[in-house]
Amino acid sequence: MKVKEKGEFFARLTKTMDATRKNKRYGRDSVAYERRWASALYHDCTARIDRTFRIDENYAFLVSIPKWREIMATSFSGRMGDHELCDVLEEYIEQELHPRTYNNRKEMGSQAAINRVIEDIFEVTEGFTRKARIIKWDLKGFFPNARRDYIEQCFIRLIERHRAEIERDHGWWYADYLRWLTMICVQTVVTDHCELRTPRHYWQNIPAGKSLFGKPNGIGTPIGRLPSQKGMGLYVNDEVRWLNDDCGIRATLFMDDCVMVVSEERHAYALSLLPELRKRLRAKGVRMNERKFYDQPATHGLEFLGTHIRPNRLHLNNVTYGRAIGKIRLLNAVEDKLAHLQRFIDIMNSCMALLKARTDHHRLISLIQEADTAWWQCCHLDNRRKCIVATEGYRHNDYLQRRYNLPPRTRKPRPTKKTPLPILAA
């Protein structure tokens, strides 16, 4: 690699650092890296050029909402490698993924997947004038039982397919560099050199098959890392393409949940495809969950991604709504309302956004009525944006100013554009 190419690579790695710390600048790892970012970035750049870069500082923690899960993460330097790989390949991954795969894609989140299922039900039933069936299946232990070598092959096939474009945009050596970086990011054994940031006795809440600790070598990819999220979208992409394009089945996939909407006449044909589908999935190390298989008429409704889809109604899952009500009641008992105002606003707006996207207007009113009257002295409902905002004088900056006796902020008046006078003809 020439000196000019090394300089361009260092500049590209600087942009990767900025993208990695976006929205996470105040994290523990981000602060530690930023304190010595010049020397740390030079060390990472040299390690990548010499092919000595390794991801060996990992940590694990547990989350209990909506259920107990094991989350694996890595240091800031390791996350830079994840972003460096996935940011370059993102446009090619979007071209590879089927339009009915909705996980980890821009403007194609859970709500878009729900809308797609609703459209399929309405089109197949022709406005609920014909009979249709809904088949829903789930993959058991999707992330913990995945084969890392297959994920690596998915990335490598993508790189080789677009090698000419990558070398044209990033340099003659960059395609081979991405192949090496794929091996480092995907094949890292995250359970080695791993720090547990949740007390060890809480790990008994994780089933043995859902934890990466104790898995055979090459089995399991961590939840929480970017290559895992992108790679698992490619993992079952061939099966989604086979169902939709080859078999003519309307199948919508979000991570490990898939919904198939078929007419009554094609119901037997759709069921006959399941043995072949199980065979294809078994070859990749995953299988369907026998306890989460759903096959009912379309008029009976469907629960998909925390939402109940019914012929004349779309409402939020009771567990999600009840959890929001419980958080608001805990905040109502707090004496210092100003110190917890921002948390109250965040919880209210998060739940209100879910309810506004569904036909749960009565629940939306009940949610607002659940809040204590003392909160409305510090915030109000913005009718234009339909969200809760802090009142002037009670915003977060105003709270910090009163607490730490900071000088008041003076805002410069915005310059007004002067309209030139028209030139009159003589």
Two tokens at 36? 């010595």
Q: What is the pLDDT of residue 213?
A: 87
The string of pLDDT tens digits covering residues 37-47 is 889 999 999 99
DSSP state of 379: E
Mean pLDDT rounded to a whole number for the chain? 87
Instruction: Tell me: pLDDT of 238 over 60.
Output: yes
Instruction: Tell me: pLDDT of 94 over 80.
Output: yes
Name the residue ranges covered by the structural domains of the chain.
54-301, 315-404
Beta-sheet strands, E only, within 161-249:
194-196
Instruction: Tell me: pLDDT of 57 over 90.
Output: no
Who has greater pLDDT, 140 or 399? 140
Q: Is residue 414 very low, low, confident or very high in pLDDT (cuts 50, 70, 90)?
A: low
Least confident piece of the model among 50-59, 357-366, 411-420: 411-420
Query: Percent of the chain, pLDDT > 90?
Result: 35
Q: Return the number of other C-beta atoms located less than 10 Å from residue 137's C-beta.
A: 21
Nearest CA to 364 out of 340, 376, 381 is that of 381
Average pLDDT over residues 182-198: 88
Instruction: Tell me how far apart the alpha carbons of residues 37 and 76 are, in angstroms, rounded to a whole number.
Output: 11
Q: What is the pLDDT of residue 106?
A: 82
Least confident piece of the model among 28-32, 155-159, 337-341, 422-426: 422-426
Contact 171, 159 (CB under 8 A): no
Average pLDDT over residues 285-311: 89
Q: What is the pLDDT of residue 420?
A: 54
Average pLDDT over residues 60-83: 88
Instruction: Tell me: pLDDT of 409 over 70.
Output: no
Q: What letter represents residue 326's amino acid? A: G
Q: What is the pLDDT of residue 417?
A: 53
Q: What is the pLDDT of residue 329?
A: 93
Q: What is the pLDDT of residue 408?
A: 73
Instruction: Tell me: pLDDT of 426 over 50.
Output: no
Q: What is the pLDDT of residue 421?
A: 45
Instruction: Tell me: pLDDT of 3 over 70.
Output: no
Query: Percent of the chain, pLDDT > 70?
Result: 95
Average pLDDT over residues 101-112: 86
Rounded to two decimals, the pTM is: 0.84
Average pLDDT over residues 117-133: 91
Nearest CA to 250 out of 93, 132, 110, 96 is that of 132
Two tokens at 126? 């022709």
- The count of C-alpha atoms lying within 13 angstroms of the C-alpha of 334, restricted to the half-sphere facing its C-beta, is 15
Instruction: Tell me: pLDDT of 164 over 90.
Output: yes
